[in-house]
Copies of this chain bind each other. A is one copy, B any other.
Amino acid sequence: MTNDSELSGKHNLLTPFDYTLTVLGGKWKMKIMYQIACQKVLRYGELKRSILGITHKVLSSQLKELEESGIIKRVEYSQTPLKVEYSLTPKGKTLMPILEDMCKWGLQYLPDEQRIINNIRNE
């Protein structure tokens, strides 16, 4: 670790851009947010099934970090069996335009050979 945290001490100070990267960073956070946003509310298991390839451990740790960043809200219903629902917070919703722009950009630039969904209503 030879980076910023050395310069800025224990409370690691960040530039605004780095803060956003911290909140959204990693391989899965944006995909998780995207899924939650699409469905408004999702239970843990539904979320897991909707994101191909993510593992139990990774999903739960990333959900926890997103919650700590104030991006998603976790509501636990004390039933048996347990039920937990995730949704975006207002703060989280303010990030959606960025994710949508990323999606639009991908639509424009994704090479056809790699496209997985190209036959939806092409007439």
Identify the A interface with B (CB < 8 A): 2-4, 7-8, 11-21, 23-25, 27, 30-31, 34, 52-53, 55, 91, 94-95, 97-99, 101-110, 113-117
Tell me if A3 and B98 are in contact (CB < 8 A): no
Tell me if A113 and B19 are in contact (CB < 8 A): no
Tell me if A102 and B17 are in contact (CB < 8 A): yes
- Secondary structure at the A interface, as helix, strand, loop or mixed, is helix
B residues near A30, Cβ cutoff 8 Å: 17, 21
Q: Shortest beta-carbon distance, A18 to chain B, in Å?
A: 7
Q: How many copies does the complex hold?
A: 2
Using A20-B102, A103-B16 as known contacts, say yes or no to A114 and B25 having CB atoms under 8 A apart. Answer: no
Tell me if B27 and A31 are in contact (CB < 8 A): no
Closest to A27 in B: B25
Tell me if A113 and B11 are in contact (CB < 8 A): yes
The answer, among B21, B23, B110, for a CB contact under 8 Å with A19, is B110
The answer, among B18, B19, B91, B98, for a CB contact under 8 Å with A101, is B98
Closest to A116 in B: B13
